[in-house]
Chains A and B, each alone.
Chain A
């Protein structure tokens, strides 16, 4: 059986020392090993940005596509091979800026994939511009006098879009994050884990200390019921999205791939592609 070691490779991440993404990388590796997955059974599909490099840093199949399109690519992979564990990953700019459209529709479509966003409220790779999750008043290279736009709150958007599994983690709490990733992968449907993953180089506001101070950990909130959507929405509004743990989970959803008419259990990539001549004849008859 594969161990955590088997999910590591010898590539040195190009992340800055102290970057929150290291913890996300380690958590994915630990979660996969804990679940008894083999490296070849997993594909990590990522977008562009510092965090988008993560698909290269885990010893599984990895696809690093274009900016903002990790989710469409990940959904395509899942359609070709429904047996594969598909993890999409990227940053807040990738997922909630350029790729927000795809996020909303991936939620709506509900394929069985896990989406891990490393949310650092800044564009790091391009060296410090504000991001869609930067708070109002946030100063960055592109907001020298303070951000005049409102921040997008991913958890609120996800719930509003009708997500079936929503969790948030924090790079300082690896144990919680490992557990959330495991639950998300086990969940049959689209799952989002938005991780507060501080950028130590360009974001001097949303630091590790900032999150320690402001986060409500739902694991420690007595009586919090993650199956109650109204309570979940109330919570992400009241905390302005600054909460961690399992926020919402609905196990009654049926994943997209289970609803496609005529879709086979045998993954497409293994199917015999030759068309049965009798079936072809029925297709052609329409035009006779």
Chain B
């Protein structure tokens, strides 16, 4: 029996690959399995190979595997491109329609997917036939699909629901007759606990609405669009608004306007949009306006690899804006963290009155994964230093409210337009405490130091999480969605008897120098694992003065996420 399974469905984009994978994944998640899925797709609507890989296990893994146990192929290309990763003796289920051919190391089940689907009512249901075929191989009852099929097709009427279930049953029976019910592929039963199943972008949207975000101007871009699409469905219930703006420049400036107006405002984008937002991020820093920007990283530069994994916006997030401002950059690694970090992001933005960038990567944003319960009770809303009645100026106001009052912490009281006695000026020009423009040298120094003081010496708690052996010889440093692949590599290395640690970075600004130094202290070697070509995180460690003689990089920038085995092999070789 299998304790875990890697299942993959492949075909032409637009022929139901995604919905097949989704139905399979949701059905297994509801049985109590931990599920982690990863979509391989292209920046086009129809055509081109796409696949959806689903990992099912009895304990949680947040990485895809290098091998595949069962491959479902809707065309020969899907076999040709993916069969190499199907393990010795693994299964390929393919549509009879294209007369499939597969190499000898796999067991090929040729099933008339399309033909059976047509007999059940429509060729479109071939994905359902294929799910039935998969269930047979894995020793799963087809009843596990009943609920998902019902939910998916209820709107279309009972007849359609019945046809789809029949398609699943016929697929199951066909493979059974071929002798496809293989005991060695039967999945060990799960505990039946129903957990959440979502992608990082879903969790970000949930976290944002829980954190009190109510204004979200944004411009569609892969892989960020789901955040706005999700919020636009939620906001009517809480009085919020999503505006699909004309471009990213409008999006960030509108968010800044809304934040100045007193809303918790955010936007979400990816690399190209982040580049367009840079000037306004500087404005937010200069005017001390709290705004949250989600950057779902994808392959750059330029249009780059719009649908592929990369972590190459670190420098842009830290250094992209001209001039110097205080800024916070957070790096969630899991769906749960995506949820809670939005509350942190808004609280930090309002506490320090500065822009906060929440960086995910494509794998985290789009990989649907089993997710622990999300606790609304843990989300606190702290709006920072708001002017009290006594801070306000008597009316009629003959002088401005000191919005940029020089304080010890550098943090000044905020007041929202519409408030009596709070009139002040806001400008991107250097200004006095009142917000009036002033370019004199002494004032420049005072205000620049006031702004920069806000985050000086600050390290956010939990910026680095250290796991593995305390006395590790090698410490692996990573960030974002690589958490799963690294954790799994560490597990295998430790099983080999090697002393290995894992330091995961959850915030890169303020840079957690102290926490990172502590995390790698005593290790002979450090390897920084990241999805980019130049080792940006490693450079940041050097830039911010993290001292260690044995730091090296493991880089991957081909658009694909790290596989646990790649990290395992590399680190093994370091001993």
Q: Which residue numbers of A lie inside 8 Å of B, CB to CB? A: 2, 6, 9, 11, 38-41, 43, 45, 53, 55-56, 59-66, 69, 71-81, 83-84, 101-102, 104-105, 109, 260-264, 266-271, 273-275, 277, 279-280, 282-284, 287-288
Contacts of B280 in A (CB 8 A): 65-66, 69
| B427 pairs with A56, CB closer than 8 A | yes
Give, as a whole number of angstroms, the nearest-CB distance from A21 to chain B.
16
Give, as a whole number of angstroms, the nearest-CB distance from B283 to chain A.
5
| A75 pairs with B262, CB closer than 8 A | no
Interface string of B275-295 (1 = CB under 8 A from A): 000011011000100000000
Give, as a whole number of angstroms, the nearest-CB distance from B292 to chain A.
13
Contacts beyond the supplied A40-B420, A65-B257, A80-B261: 6 A-B pairs with Cβ under 8 Å:
A40-B419, A61-B422, A62-B426, A69-B250, A76-B256, A102-B246
| B243 pairs with A75, CB closer than 8 A | yes
| A269 pairs with B425, CB closer than 8 A | no
Instruction: Please report the total number of B residues contacting A with Cβ < 8 Å.
Output: 72
Give, as a whole number of angstroms, the nearest-CB distance from B1 to chain A.
27
Interface string of B414-428 (1 = CB under 8 A from A): 001111111111111
| A287 pairs with B196, CB closer than 8 A | yes
Q: Considering residues A9, A40, A277, A284, which has the most beta carbons from chain B within 10 angstroms of its beta carbon?
A: A40
Contacts of A78 in B (CB 8 A): 257, 261
| B416 pairs with A81, CB closer than 8 A | yes
CA distance A269 to B265 in the complex (A): 11
Q: Which residue of B lies closest to A256 (CB)?
A: B243
CA distance A283 to B376 in the complex (A): 11
Q: Which residue of A lies closest to B203 (CB)?
A: A287
CA distance A84 to B435 in the complex (A): 20
| A72 pairs with B250, CB closer than 8 A | yes
Q: Which residue numbers of B lie inside 8 Å of A, CB to CB? A: 194, 196-198, 202, 206, 209-212, 214-215, 217, 234-241, 243, 245-247, 249-251, 253-265, 279-280, 282-283, 287, 371, 374, 376, 379, 381, 395-397, 400, 416-429, 435-437
Q: Considering residues B211, B212, B263, B379, which has the most beta carbons from chain A within 10 angstroms of its beta carbon?
A: B263
Q: Could you list 24 examples of A-B contacts with CB < 8 Å?
A: A6-B396, A39-B396, A40-B422, A45-B257, A59-B423, A61-B424, A62-B426, A63-B427, A66-B282, A69-B253, A72-B249, A72-B253, A73-B253, A73-B257, A75-B257, A76-B217, A77-B260, A77-B261, A80-B263, A84-B417, A109-B243, A268-B263, A271-B239, A280-B210
Give, as a whole number of angstroms, the nearest-CB distance from A272 to chain B.
9
The 3 A-B residue pairs with the shortest CB-CB distance, nearest first, are A76-B257, A269-B262, A80-B261
CA distance A267 to B417 in the complex (A): 11
Which of B206, B265, B423 sits near A80, CB closer than 8 Å? B265
CA distance A75 to B259 in the complex (A): 11
Q: A66-B280, A79-B261 are in contact. Are A61 and B238 (CB under 8 A)?
A: no
Q: Which residue of B lies closest to A271 (CB)?
A: B239
Give, as a whole number of angstroms, the nearest-CB distance from B249 to chain A.
6
Contacts of B381 in A (CB 8 A): 273-274
Q: Which residue of A lies closest to B383 (CB)?
A: A273
Contacts of A267 in B (CB 8 A): 262, 418
Give, as a whole number of angstroms, the nearest-CB distance from A49 to chain B.
12
CA distance A267 to B215 in the complex (A): 12
Contacts of A274 in B (CB 8 A): 212, 381
| B237 pairs with A65, CB closer than 8 A | no
Q: A66-B280, A274-B381 are in contact. Are A76 and B206 (CB under 8 A)?
A: no
Give, as a whole number of angstroms, the nearest-CB distance from B318 to chain A.
20
| B418 pairs with A79, CB closer than 8 A | no
Contacts of B198 in A (CB 8 A): 287
Contacts of B253 in A (CB 8 A): 65-66, 69, 72-73, 76
Q: Which residue of A lies closest to B197 (CB)?
A: A287
Contacts of A64 in B (CB 8 A): 425-429, 437
| A284 pairs with B243, CB closer than 8 A | no
| A81 pairs with B196, CB closer than 8 A | no
Contacts of A280 in B (CB 8 A): 206, 210, 376
Contacts of A56 in B (CB 8 A): 425, 427, 436-437
Main DSSP-derived SS at the B contact region: mixed
| B418 pairs with A55, CB closer than 8 A | no
| B257 pairs with A63, CB closer than 8 A | yes
| B246 pairs with A105, CB closer than 8 A | yes
Contacts of B437 in A (CB 8 A): 53, 56, 64
Give, as a whole number of angstroms, the nearest-CB distance from B374 to chain A.
6
Q: Considering residues B251, B421, B427, B437, which has the most beta carbons from chain A within 10 angstroms of its beta carbon?
A: B427
Contacts of B374 in A (CB 8 A): 284
Contacts of B287 in A (CB 8 A): 63, 65
CA distance A107 to B472 in the complex (A): 62
Which of B395, B396, B417 sits near A77, CB closer than 8 Å? B417
Q: A56-B425, A76-B253, A284-B374 are in contact. Are A66 and B279 (CB under 8 A)?
A: yes
Give, as a whole number of angstroms, the nearest-CB distance from A285 to chain B.
10
CA distance A104 to B246 in the complex (A): 9
Q: Which residue of B lies closest to A60 (CB)?
A: B423
Contacts of A101 in B (CB 8 A): 246-247, 250
Give, as a whole number of angstroms, the nearest-CB distance from A50 to chain B.
13
Give, as a whole number of angstroms, the nearest-CB distance from B526 to chain A.
37
Contacts of A77 in B (CB 8 A): 257-258, 260-261, 417
Q: Which residue of A lies closest to B374 (CB)?
A: A284
| B215 pairs with A80, CB closer than 8 A | yes
Give, as a whole number of angstroms, the nearest-CB distance from A237 to chain B.
26
CA distance A71 to B246 in the complex (A): 12
Give, as a whole number of angstroms, the nearest-CB distance from A106 to chain B.
9
| A65 pairs with B256, CB closer than 8 A | yes
Contacts of A55 in B (CB 8 A): 425, 427
Q: A76-B256, A275-B210, A275-B212 are in contact. Are A268 and B239 (CB under 8 A)?
A: yes
Q: Which residue of B lies closest to A273 (CB)?
A: B212
Which of B238, B257, B424 sits near A275, CB closer than 8 Å? B238
CA distance A73 to B249 in the complex (A): 10
CA distance A190 to B449 in the complex (A): 40
Q: A79-B243, A81-B262, A83-B418 are in contact. Are A65 and B428 (CB under 8 A)?
A: yes
| B428 pairs with A66, CB closer than 8 A | yes
| A72 pairs with B217, CB closer than 8 A | yes
CA distance A183 to B269 in the complex (A): 38
Contacts of A71 in B (CB 8 A): 250
| A76 pairs with B265, CB closer than 8 A | yes
Give, as a whole number of angstroms, the nearest-CB distance from A154 to chain B.
18
Contacts of B417 in A (CB 8 A): 40, 43, 61, 77, 81, 84
Contacts of A72 in B (CB 8 A): 217, 245, 249-251, 253-254, 257
| B256 pairs with A73, CB closer than 8 A | yes
| B237 pairs with A279, CB closer than 8 A | yes
Contacts of B215 in A (CB 8 A): 76, 79-80, 268
Which of A43, A83, A262 sits near B238, CB closer than 8 Å? A262
Contacts of B279 in A (CB 8 A): 66
Contacts of A83 in B (CB 8 A): 418
Contacts of A287 in B (CB 8 A): 196-198, 202, 371
Contacts of B416 in A (CB 8 A): 80-81, 269
CA distance A74 to B255 in the complex (A): 10
CA distance A131 to B282 in the complex (A): 26
Give, as a whole number of angstroms, the nearest-CB distance from A79 to chain B.
5
CA distance A74 to B250 in the complex (A): 11
Give, as a whole number of angstroms, the nearest-CB distance from B280 to chain A.
6
Q: A69-B280, A260-B241 are in contact. Are A76 and B261 (CB under 8 A)?
A: yes
| A61 pairs with B423, CB closer than 8 A | yes
Contacts of B264 in A (CB 8 A): 273
| B214 pairs with A273, CB closer than 8 A | yes
| A80 pairs with B424, CB closer than 8 A | no
CA distance A280 to B384 in the complex (A): 24
Which of A11, A66, A76 sits near B260, CB closer than 8 Å? A76
Contacts of B240 in A (CB 8 A): 262, 268
